[in-house]
Amino acid sequence: MLLELKNVTVPTFDREHIIVEDISFGVKEGSIHAIIGPNGSGKSSLAYAIMGLHTYQLSQGKIFFEGKNITELGVTERAQLGITLAWQEPARIDGLSVLKYLSLGMKDKANIKEQAIDALKTVNLDPEKYINRYIDESLSGGERKRIELAATIAMRPKLIILDEPDSGLDMIVIEDFLNIFNKIRKLKMTILLITHREDIGMVADYGTLLWQGKALITDEFAEVMLRFCAKAGLKEFCKRTLFQNEKTCFGEDYIDKIFEEERNS
Amino acid sequence: MSKEQYPDEILQSLEDYNIDIKDFLPGHGKGAKLLLDFNKISGVEEMKGVVLKGREIENGIVADVIIKEGAVIEEPVHLCFGVKKQSGIQQIFPRIIAEDNSEVTVRAHCSFPNADGLVHKMFGHFYIGNNCKFTYSETHYHGEKSGALVAPVSYMYIGENSIYENNFNLTQGTPGRVKIMLDIYAMKNSVIRSNIKAFGKGKGDSIRIRDSVFLEGENARSVIKMKAAAKDGGEVLMYGITEGNAKYCNGHVECQEIVLGKGSTCRARPFIRAIDSTSTVSHEASLGRFPQKWLDELQAKGLSEEEATDILVEAMLKEE
């Protein structure tokens, strides 16, 4: 496993409440692993805890990266080991150019411009149009998200955590993002994808379902999605989406069985 | 006027601060210029639509910069107030007038590369007519010694339907003691953007800036952005003032100050006022360190907190 969480509990900053509790799962190297769950289930908090943000410290459990215990490491150290995070709503910073921003995490400081151009192309942005702009309010939400993604790709990390890359984007853009994920996969980077959308999640190989702060299942993504639908009582939606998807081959009987199990539980 | 007539030391100091001066050199570039060597007018280059007149007085000069009615000046007008001496008093009394329907950018460079006890004072009057687009950018360089005592005061009248942008930069070298007061009076439908950036780097640096916008005309709008950093004992105090004194006016004051190192102090005193139920005036201020989220975002790229802070300071204080 590239990343492994063992019995991870993340409390609120004041430690009065638990956000996610006793989470254990692993992320295989080279895979796309989605964490799905409804709003408020703790997906983003878990992502921040994996990244090591100061305000999301574990109250119990351990996190391993390439077999090394990184639980006590800060954000910088984790990033230097090869973990990074593309933020759901990345900040806009006056005076910081796209080129400079993309260069921040580059390991190879030679040919910075060429690397930045490559990263912009990977996220389907025209380098000529963007490289000298600033990451300020002149960028739309979608443009800023792509530049964030480009900055993480330019780092050549081993693991990219994508926190709700689909939020606030329209359908046409989402189609484009799915295409970008496949490009990242070809660069041999592992993706931990935080999402609550099944169409985005369908690019994933594996998944973990978070429900009210607990990890209910970790399995192949379609199986996880089926459990999600059963938990949420979305049978028609489930049949529509999972039947239509070529990655899944659930029979109607199997879907009925899972929903029945969920009802009984 | 030739290049030789202007002190190399001052030109060099601009180059040292990565300012592309080739168009500002005497005899170069198309733009109009007024160049000062301490209290001596060492060069004036006018152009069609731009009148530049200066007169030397004791310890300074009186100058008129007039942009003629309807003139659209593409090349920036350059004002260079250079002093190569360490000390002395330089007083500037400029009147800057943009007649109706004119457009221009005026760039002033106050370069004091050897300043060590130098006093620079300015008492300026700006009159911007109706339907104008006027940008005034003033950049200061006070050398690397003890800096200068700099005390400019400016009153600015911005006419109806005009757009006025004010940029003040004091981010490189050692500032010294700086006290700046700007009063901007905005008439009907005018738009004001004022950007102030300053960096106090040591114990001897004290920067106090009062930037005031009075929205006097209906539908006048303004944004004041004040950004500063104080390092290793430096002190910065920013007063951002906006008064909405007319109907449907809209003003905002934004102040961000970063404290770096020990003994540094940043203070902000926004003052806002509205006297009409149709107007909106707002302010936001943050002092101390950068938002944690910004630091997290950069640290997630592998930077240490110190490196991330340096990058953010550099970006924040980048000249407009």
Give whole-number Cα distances, B314 to A96, A159, B75, B145, B311, in Å: 8, 29, 28, 21, 5
Residue A247 has pLDDT above 70, yes or no: no
- Average pLDDT of chain A is 89
Flag whether A237 is in a domain: no
Flag whether A222 is in a domain: yes
pLDDT of A43:
93
Query: Which of B299, B317, B320 has the most A C-beta neighbours within 10 Å, making it the best mutation to test the interface with A?
Result: B299
pLDDT of B92:
93
Query: Which of A56, A75, A98, A99 has the most B C-beta neighbours within 10 Å, making it the best mutation to test the interface with B?
Result: A75
Closest CA to A66 of A146, A173, A158: A158
> Do A192 and A73 lie in a common domain?
yes
Residue A256 has pLDDT above 90, yes or no: no
Residue B169 has pLDDT above 70, yes or no: yes
Q: Do A87 and B298 touch (CB under 8 A)?
A: no
Q: Do A93 and B300 touch (CB under 8 A)?
A: no
| Neighbouring residues of A91: CB distance < 8 A, sequence distance ≥ 6 | A135, B291, B293, B294, B297
Residue B105 has pLDDT above 80, yes or no: yes
Each residue of A64-117: pLDDT tens digit? 999 999 999 999 999 999 999 999 889 999 899 999 999 999 988 889 999 999
Q: Do B299 and A90 touch (CB under 8 A)?
A: no
CA A260/CA A70 separation, integer angstroms: 40
> Do A129 and A11 lie in a common domain?
no
| Neighbouring residues of A242: CB distance < 8 A, sequence distance ≥ 6 | A222, A225, A226, A229, A248, A250, A255
Flag whether A59 is in a domain: yes
**How many C-beta neighbours within 10 Å does residue B151 have?**
17
DSSP A265: -
Q: Do A96 and B315 touch (CB under 8 A)?
A: yes
Mean pLDDT of B112-119: 90
Each residue of B56-74: pLDDT tens digit? 999 999 999 999 999 999 9
> Do A162 and A123 lie in a common domain?
no
Helix axes A141-154, A171-186, angle to 10 degrees: 0
pLDDT of A8:
96
Q: What is the CATH number of the domain that holds A191?
A: 3.40.50.300
Rounded to a whole number of angstroms, the distance from the CA of B277 to the nearest CA of chain A is 29
Rounded to a whole number of angstroms, the distance from the CA of B313 to the nearest CA of chain A is 9
**CB-CB contact of A84 with B301 (8 Å):** yes
Residue A198 has pLDDT above 80, yes or no: no
**CB-CB contact of A163 with A88 (8 Å):** yes
Q: Do A95 and B300 touch (CB under 8 A)?
A: no
- Where in the sequence is the domain holding A30, given as residue range(s)? 3-82+157-232
Flag whether A249 is in a domain: no
How would you write A237-249 as a 3-class SS string?
HHHHHHHHCCCCC
Rounded to a whole number of angstroms, the distance from the CA of A14 to the nearest CA of chain B is 16
Residue where a domain stops, chosen among A126, A156, A186: A156
Q: Do A104 and B302 touch (CB under 8 A)?
A: yes
Residue A230's φ and ψ, nearest 5 degrees, are -65, -40
Q: Do B302 and A105 touch (CB under 8 A)?
A: yes
Q: Alpha-carbon dihedral of residues A64, A38, A214, B295, nearest 10 degrees?
A: 40
Each residue of B147-157: pLDDT tens digit? 889 999 999 99
> Do A73 and A164 lie in a common domain?
yes
Burial category of A175 from C-beta neighbours within 10 Å (exposed 0-12, middle 13-18, buried 19 and up)? exposed
Flag whether A71 is in a domain: yes
Mean pLDDT of B143-150: 87
CA B115/CA B110 separation, integer angstroms: 11
> Do A20 and A104 lie in a common domain?
no
| Neighbouring residues of B76: CB distance < 8 A, sequence distance ≥ 6 | B23, B31, B104, B105, B106, B107
Interface subset of A 16-55, CB within 8 angstroms of B = 51, 53-55
CA B191/CA B171 separation, integer angstroms: 26
Taking the Cβ of residue A104 and every Cβ of chain B, the question of whether any pair is shorter than 8 Å is answered with yes
Burial category of A131 from C-beta neighbours within 10 Å (exposed 0-12, middle 13-18, buried 19 and up)? middle
Query: Which of B167, B199, B297 has the most A C-beta neighbours within 10 Å, making it the best mutation to test the interface with A?
Result: B297
Q: Do A151 and B315 touch (CB under 8 A)?
A: no
> Domain count of chain A?
2
Q: Which residue has the tokens 């009062």?
A: B210
Mean pLDDT of A53-60: 94
Each residue of B278-309: pLDDT tens digit? 999 999 999 999 999 999 999 999 999 999 99
Q: Which residue has the tokens 């151009």?
A: A117
CA B181/CA B123 separation, integer angstroms: 10
> Do A77 and A168 lie in a common domain?
yes
Rounded to a whole number of angstroms, the distance from the CA of B308 to the nearest CA of chain A is 9
| Beta-bridge partner residues of B34 | B44, B79
Amino acid at B213: V
> Do A126 and A34 lie in a common domain?
no
| pLDDT band, very low/low/confident/very high, at B27 (cuts 50, 70, 90) | low
pLDDT of A258:
83
Q: ipTM, 2 decimals?
A: 0.91
B303 contacts in chain A (CB < 8 Å):
76, 79, 104-105
pLDDT of A264:
84
Residue A176 has pLDDT above 90, yes or no: no
Q: Do B311 and A85 touch (CB under 8 A)?
A: no
Please, where are the H alpha helices in A72-111?
A: 75-81, 98-103
Each residue of B246-257: pLDDT tens digit? 999 999 999 999
Each residue of B214-246: pLDDT tens digit? 999 999 999 999 999 999 999 999 999 999 999
> Do A17 and A78 lie in a common domain?
yes
- Average pLDDT of chain B is 91
> Do A96 and A192 lie in a common domain?
no
pLDDT of B3:
47
CA B4/CA B252 separation, integer angstroms: 46
Each residue of A139-151: pLDDT tens digit? 988 889 899 999 9
Q: Retrieve residue B109's tokens.
A: 């460079």
Residue B206's φ and ψ, nearest 5 degrees, are -130, 115
Residue where a domain stops, chosen among A106, A121, A156: A156
Query: Which of B293, B304, B312 is nearest residue A76 as measured by Cβ atoms?
Result: B304
> Do A62 and A110 lie in a common domain?
no
> Looking at chain B, how many residues does it have?
320
Flag whether A107 is in a domain: yes
Flag whether A167 is in a domain: yes
Report the range of poorest mean pLDDT among A147-156, A166-175, A216-225: A166-175
pLDDT greater at residue A82 or residue A185: A82
Residue A199 has pLDDT above 80, yes or no: no
Domain ranges, ordered by start, for chain B: 292-320
Flag whether A30 is in a domain: yes
Each residue of B175-201: pLDDT tens digit? 899 999 999 999 999 999 999 999 998
**How many C-beta neighbours within 10 Å does residue A262 have?**
16
